A and B are shown apart, each in its own frame.
Chain A
Amino acid sequence: MKGILAVATATLALGLATAQTLTGAGSTFALPLQTETYIPNFTKATGIRVNYQGVGSGAGIRQLTDKVVNFAGSDAPLTDAQLKDIEAKTGSKVLHIPIALGPVAITYNLPGITDLRLDAEVLAQIMLGKIVRWSDPKIAALNPNLKLPNLMISAAHRSDGSGTTFIFTSYLAAISPEWKSKVGAGQAVNWPAFSALGGKGNPGVAAIVAQTQGAIGYVEIKFALENKLPMAELKNASGNYIKPSLESSKEAVAGVEIPEDLRLPNQIVNTKAPQGYPIVGATWMLVYQKQEVSAKSEADAKAMVKYLEWILTDGQKLNEGAIFVKLAPDVVQRALALVATMTYNGKPLK
């Protein structure tokens, strides 16, 4: 092994010249935004490449902790304990730079039905495996106009650690005490339903719902739209049934107070806004404040800062085209101020 390693590192040192490349990994929620929208445009503008792999928020955080990527994409902010732990290990704070917000849609596959209505209590019962058939009176009570089939419910969830799961379970935990005590909120939870199906990434869950009659699942809105999956109207705190959309998400986000470090420990669920959609999540890029921890060179650290600044300025204009909510101007200013605190070996990167 040592011999091979030596050869490998020798060749590594010789290194063929390649374009400057930043590496990132994590959230599949933000995957289309990164690879389909931000990166091609950023590369066009600056010549810097960004290699982003959608491995799930949890895996992204782990890779950042292992210092094998420049940034992680995550829809679940780090907990205080995680932050402290990483700082102790690496000597650097991790910054949360928000890049976009988006609704988590509840999609389903029921023949001929596209206007299902649900509330959090029923949704929690479904996910707990207590409601097992679509013809259940509790679902029917919310949908008096629908003729619901006697199909079994397949509750699809993420099999990998996921920020989308975190957003979704935070919502259920905020409303259903039973969910909170039995399952809780997290990037990966114990799904109690016997007919629960796990799919990898937002794409995996969307595929299960698309293929399986009677399935229900939660995905970022873009994955529902691209698969042409119907999305349930959810009853919000004001008692209105709201469809997930950019507008209803903006309503939900509008009144949210954002803490200084731009973390939202519980995401944006169960909004008080009358027209707001109740499950909205922010997605962050996590970077080390002291860039020398993860960056291979000062040039890489500068490129990292450049990418973040580009996303917060030019990139924001592309968010809505990619069906993501853009950040409010004051959040952008605060995020830029946070980016400005990044250093490389003590030197500021501005």
Chain B
Amino acid sequence: MTQISGNLRRRQLWDKVMLGLLVLGSLVVVAPLVLVLSKVFLTGFSALNLAFFTQDFQPVEAGGGGLRHAIVGTILMNLLALLIGGTLGLAGGILLSEYPDHPVNPTLRVISDLLNGLPALLKGLVIYTLVVIPTGSFSGYAGALALGLVMVPIVLRATEGVLKLVPWNVREAGLGLGLPRWRVILSLVLPAASSGVITGLMLGFARAAGEAAPLYFTAGGSQYLNFNLSQQTESLALTIYKYANEPSPLRVEQAWAAALVLTLLVLIASLLARWVARVRP
């Protein structure tokens, strides 16, 4: 504590300098967000048109078409992935928080962190060997499975975190009323933490929506619109990766438009989560 007895003037000056540095640091963090978003919005918006939403892949000579197939594919695969990843992640979060003494817990926690650090690519690679090769074709289901794996650790972490914030006496009150434990968890604890759980689900959704690498070997990509996930399926992230380097400027514009739509999808998802969090405190 020797520093405290220094020259007061100098210490107050330091105080101001450090505040300045902190503000500068915060600006450095926010700046790339602004840069990326503004680039995506400006470039993407000028490339958006009606055909983008109403048409599928078309040759450049025929106008290039749109990305309806990719938008539909992204939404379908991500919803199914949300179902898979959400269920697994919720179960994991519930086990960690509601059965804190369970012998599986330490392993589960490490495994979940490991899954979080594992490149999504490797998850796709395993789905390729386990699902794509045995079924004999790429499919939206395989893509959704890979994306589901991307979501699991994110949802799990978020669920565990918010469930733990629910005061223990909520559970005691429920149990005191004679409710079985599973009812207490499902109808008291989860609803009390619903906003946080939903935020976690949305974060997982956003992260998975942006994954292109695992879809390469699972969903396979497609030029066609289909609502049947047993077929090869396109996604926006995959399109961006494929079109970003295309020679035709039209395709590059479409990549930016796809980036904009994907960003909007993610933004809407996270705003929705925020809104739900505020409506149901």
Q: How far is the CB of B199 from chain A (nearest CB, A)?
A: 25
Whether B224 lies near A21 (C-beta < 8 A) is yes
A91 within 8 A of B: no
User: A41's closest neighbor in chain B, by CB?
Assistant: B59
Q: Which residues of A contact B229 (CB under 8 A)?
A: 11
Whether A9 lies near B247 (C-beta < 8 A) is no
Kindly identify which residue among B136, B141, B228 contacts A8, using a CB–CB cutoff of 8 Å: B141
B145 within 8 A of A: yes
Q: Which residues of B contact A200 (CB under 8 A)?
A: 245
B222 within 8 A of A: yes
A81 within 8 A of B: no
Q: Which residues of B contact A69 (CB under 8 A)?
A: 137
In the assembled complex, the Cα of A4 lies from the Cα of B130 at a distance in Å of 12
B-contacting 9-mer, from A49-57, A138-146, A186-194, A333-341:
A49-57
User: B80's closest neighbor in chain A, by CB?
Assistant: A8
Q: Which residues of A contact B137 (CB under 8 A)?
A: 23, 68-69, 296
Task: Give the most central of B60, B131, B216, B247: most A CB within 10 Å.
Answer: B247
Task: Give the most central of B131, B136, B216: most A CB within 10 Å.
Answer: B136
Q: How far is the CB of A307 from chain B (nearest CB, A)?
A: 15
User: B64's closest neighbor in chain A, by CB?
Assistant: A36
B132 within 8 A of A: yes
Whether B135 lies near A4 (C-beta < 8 A) is no
For B, the interface residue count at a CB cutoff of 8 angstroms equals 36
Whether A68 lies near B138 (C-beta < 8 A) is yes
Answer whether A36 and B59 are a contact pair too, CB < 8 Å, given A11-B230, A18-B226, A68-B136: yes
A residues apposed to B, CB below 8 Å: 1, 4-5, 8-9, 11-12, 15-16, 18-19, 21, 23, 25, 35-37, 39-40, 49, 51-55, 66-69, 199-201, 203-204, 206-207, 222-223, 226-227, 296
B residues apposed to A, CB below 8 Å: 57-62, 84, 130-133, 135-139, 141, 145, 216, 220-224, 226-232, 242, 245-248
9 interchain pairs (CB within 8 A)?
A: A11-B229, A12-B139, A18-B226, A23-B232, A36-B59, A51-B221, A51-B223, A54-B242, A68-B137
Q: A39-B223, A53-B222 are in contact. List 17 more A-B contacts (CB 8 A).
A: A11-B230, A12-B139, A18-B228, A21-B231, A35-B57, A36-B60, A36-B61, A37-B59, A54-B242, A68-B138, A69-B137, A200-B245, A201-B245, A203-B245, A203-B246, A223-B247, A227-B247
